[in-house]
Amino acid sequence: MRNKLSIENNNLIVEPQGLDKLWSLKNKLVIPLKHIAGATLDNTILFDKKGLRSPGTAALGYYAGSFHLNNEINFYNARKGSDIIVIQLKEEHYNRLILEIDNPRQWIDKLNNI
């Protein structure tokens, strides 16, 4: 598991696990639930162009950190070949969170029904 998700006080908490904190340069992201526009499963998103890494890591099919493309900033912490959840955000620093998590379908249902 690369990320742990939880909901506390009307916020989605995203916590990279282990060394992923170092690679993504984030200990935790706190997103108000009202800023979540939706969530989907997209196992091919890591094959798309990601843009300029700033700051972050990109190595051997693993992407972590902030990536800037077409006036958008997306946060990645995922590797190719895994189930990837994409969380669309509004009124936040990041436009999307692209995450590898346990039970992605369960989280998609939960986030889309808030």
**Which pLDDT value is given to residue 1?**
65
Q: How far apart are CA 58 and CA 102, in angstroms?
A: 21
Q: Which two tokens stand for residue 112?
A: 């889309």
**Which pLDDT value is given to residue 90?**
97
The whole domain housing 85 covers 3-112
Q: Point out the residues of the chain with pLDDT beneath 70.
A: 1
Q: How far apart are CA 29 and CA 5, in angstroms?
A: 10
**Which pLDDT value is given to residue 22?**
87
Q: Look at the chain and report how many structural domains it folds into.
A: 1
**Which pLDDT value is given to residue 27?**
92
**Which pLDDT value is given to residue 40?**
98
Q: How far apart are CA 24 and CA 33, in angstroms?
A: 22
Rounded to 5°, angle at Cα 61 from 52 and 65: 40
Which residue stretches of the chain are H helix?
20-24, 104-112
**Which pLDDT value is given to residue 106?**
96
